[in-house]
Amino acid sequence: MIRSVRSGQFEGVMPIPDEVSEQFVSLLTMHQSQLKGFVFSALGNRDDAQDVLQKTNLTLWKKAGEYREGSPFLPWAFGVARYEVLGYLRDRNRERERVVFHTDVVDMLCEIADTDMELWPDRQQALHRCLESLDDETRHVFGMRYADNLSLQQIAETTNKTIDAIKSLMLRTRKSLKKCIDNRLATTEPN
């Protein structure tokens, strides 16, 4: 960074707005992993998620004055992230590129996020355990889609199955994972 002689500010660095408190900076820093997980779960692509997360952080920074200290930070931040994700999906749809999730799935993720943010780590752990419980073939296909970011066509070719068979498997797996996560959370006692 180059320091401007006149202003004493670093060029290319956004100045800190007057309304940004230390608490806000601390909350934004503390919740980066949850925001990153939220955006990634909505988009399914690390590079895209990183771009949207950066835009989300910038928007949160600009809207810092709208955050009421003492109110729950994460639901508010997820609301901002939701709009950034929806904007990204809208722009990608215009470009006619592949989109991993539709806006209704993003809405569902936001509803989950708003219900109880303290359960987020429990949900992540439940998802991890539920993924482990999948049979090897299903876990492999799911991994090709979401970890390797392969298209349905590529997965179908790799597994010698039809695209419709892969779509059906993905739908059943998502429903199964949701049920598994809900069951695990229902049996987990609150701390």
What is the pLDDT at residue 154? 92
What is the pLDDT at residue 23? 82
Name the DSSP class of 127.
H
What is the pLDDT at residue 116? 53
Per domain, the residue ranges of the chain are 18-115, 116-191
What is the pLDDT at residue 108? 65
How many angstroms separate the most distant Cα atoms in the chain? 65
Distance from CA of residue 60 to its chain's centroid? 15
Residue count (the chain):
191
Report, in angstroms and rounded to the nearest whole number, the Rg of the chain calculated over CA atoms: 20
What is the pLDDT at residue 53? 94
What is the pLDDT at residue 5? 36
What is the pLDDT at residue 145? 84
| CA–CA dist 97, 68 (Å, integer) | 38
Q: Which residues of the chain register pLDDT less than 70? A: 1-20, 93-120, 188-191
| CA–CA dist 150, 141 (Å, integer) | 10
What is the pLDDT at residue 158? 94
Please choose, from the candidates 170, 181, 29, 55, the residue with its C-alpha nearest in 3D space to the C-alpha of residue 112: 181
CATH class of segment(s) 18-115: mainly alpha
Q: How far is CA 88 from CA 57, 72, 82, 109, 112, in A?
A: 14, 25, 10, 16, 20
What is the pLDDT at residue 91? 79
Strand partners, 10: 3
User: At 95, which amino acid appears?
Assistant: E
What is the pLDDT at residue 101? 54
* CATH of the domain spanning 116-191: 1.10.10.10
What is the pLDDT at residue 92? 75
Which phi and psi (to 5°) does residue 132 adopt?
-65, -30
